Amino acid sequence: MSSVTKALLPAAGLGTRFLPATKASPKEMLPIVDKPMIQYAVEEAESCGINEFIVITGRHKRTLEDHFDTVYELEEDLKQKGKEKLLEEINRLSHLNFAYIRQGRPLGLGHAILRARPFVKDEPFAVLLSDDIIDPDENLLERMIGLYEEFRSPIVALEEVPAEEIHRYGVIAGAEERPDLYRFTDLVEKPDPEEAPSNLAIIGRYILTPELFDILEEMEPGKGGEYQLTDALRELLKVRPVYGVVFRGKRYDAGDKFGFLKATVDLALRSSTVSEKFREYLVNVAARLNRN
Ligand code: G1P
């Protein structure tokens, strides 16, 4: 059994980049092809043996709870109509356990994670930011859990990003211990490009250890007046090593409109139900654009 069985899914953000779509419904429920954004993160974690999910939510997020619940009327209806495949699809994650807690105030990622302390207790845990969609064919989280088992230290996912995007991320300084594995020496949350210590940005996958909660309890607000996970990890460096693994596969920043559209197109091209028709359509669109 995997040593990491719990995952936190911070989902309390207001989703302002997707207004008006997110006025009354959660950003995490925006569908990419036929699944809400958050389900991609849940399936990714589930494929690594994680079976307990702690979702940190806010107001207007109740549909998240409904989505991962059993809908027996729908099950009955699908059964009666002989729609076995759909039935299987809606029940695929029914063996997982979900707990929901409210963040209360939007005080940052560090604050959201601290709210989960009573559920995580004394175990290592994964954090998945569902805005970041990792190519479902990649095994990033599995690799991270493997590294955690080897080092028994926090493992953070990194990506090389261009200078003009660096201000959107936590950025690390570190020593490369093996190809694509860095031991951190410093971290900065959303630096100005000229102050960034490297081009290695933190992306939304972390394997963390429970002593981080003690640090979060004591922390002061950082960038943007929020309690930053990046700052807590910098504190953690004083007592234990923290590692980062560089991800070179495909990631979509679906918290951004353009990234969301790219994820939609690429994942639709792989969908068993629409890929063929969609490919044909795209070829036509490309021909039309080339003519103009
Ligand atoms: C958060 C973290 C940041 C990290 C990013 C990855 O920022 O604070 O360190 O690089 O997620 O997506 P956010 O995107 O929530 O502003």
pLDDT tens digits, one per residue of 265-280? 999 999 988 999 999 9
- Which residues contact residue 243 at a Cβ distance below 8 angstroms, ignoring those fewer than 6 apart? 147, 151, 153, 154, 155, 156, 177, 181, 182, 183, 184
Tens of pLDDT, residue by residue over 137-162, are 899 999 999 999 999 999 999 999 99
Q: Which residue has the tokens 């950025």?
A: 171
3-class state of residue 54 by DSSP: strand
Q: Residue 153 CA to chain centroid, in angstroms?
A: 20
Query: Is the confidence at residue 133, as pLDDT, over 90?
Result: yes
| pLDDT, mean of residues 51-75 | 90
Residue 94: which pLDDT band, with cuts at 50, 70 and 90? confident
Residues in a beta bridge with 249: none
| pLDDT, mean of residues 65-73 | 89
- Identify the pLDDT of residue 1: 65
Tokens representing 30?
């925006």
CA gap 113, 102 in Å, rounded: 11
E strand or H helix at 63, and its extent?
A: helix 62-67
Domains of the chain, earliest start first = 6-253 (3.90.550.10), 256-292 (no CATH)
Mutate to test the pocket of ligand 1, among 159, 168, 199 (most ligand atoms within 8 A of CB): 168
Tens of pLDDT, residue by residue over 95-120, are 999 999 999 888 999 999 999 999 99
Mutate to test the pocket of ligand 1, among 109, 127, 158, 223 (most ligand atoms within 8 A of CB): 109
CA gap 203, 128 in Å, rounded: 9
Query: Is the confidence at residue 13, as pLDDT, over 90?
Result: no
Residue-averaged pLDDT of the chain: 94
Please state the pTM of the whole predicted model. Answer: 0.95
Query: Is the confidence at residue 3, as pLDDT, over 70?
Result: yes
- Identify the pLDDT of residue 15: 83
Q: Closest ligand 1 atom, CA of 202?
A: 10
| pLDDT, mean of residues 186-200 | 94
Residues 130, 41 contacting (CB under 8 angstroms): yes
Eight-state DSSP code of residue 221: P
CA gap 168, 166 in Å, rounded: 5
Q: Residue 46 CA to chain centroid, in angstroms?
A: 13
Q: Please count the CA atoms within 13 angstroms of the CA of 182 that sit on its side-chain side.
A: 24
Q: Closest ligand 1 atom, CA of 170?
A: 9
Mutate to test the pocket of ligand 1, among 9, 16, 17, 129 (most ligand atoms within 8 A of CB): 129
- Which residues contact residue 124 at a Cβ distance below 8 angstroms, ignoring those fewer than 6 apart? 3, 4, 148, 207, 208, 209, 210
Residue 91: which pLDDT band, with cuts at 50, 70 and 90? confident
Residues 259, 266 contacting (CB under 8 angstroms): no
Q: Of the given ranges (72-81, 93-102, 247-256), which has the lowest mean pLDDT?
A: 72-81
- Identify the pLDDT of residue 51: 95
| pLDDT, mean of residues 24-40 | 94
Distance 53 CA to ligand 1 centre (A): 20
Comparing CA positions, the residue from 170, 155, 167, 161 lying closest to residue 194 is 167
Burial of residue 167 (CB within 10 Å: 0-12, 13-18, 19+) is middle
Distance 47 CA to ligand 1 centre (A): 24
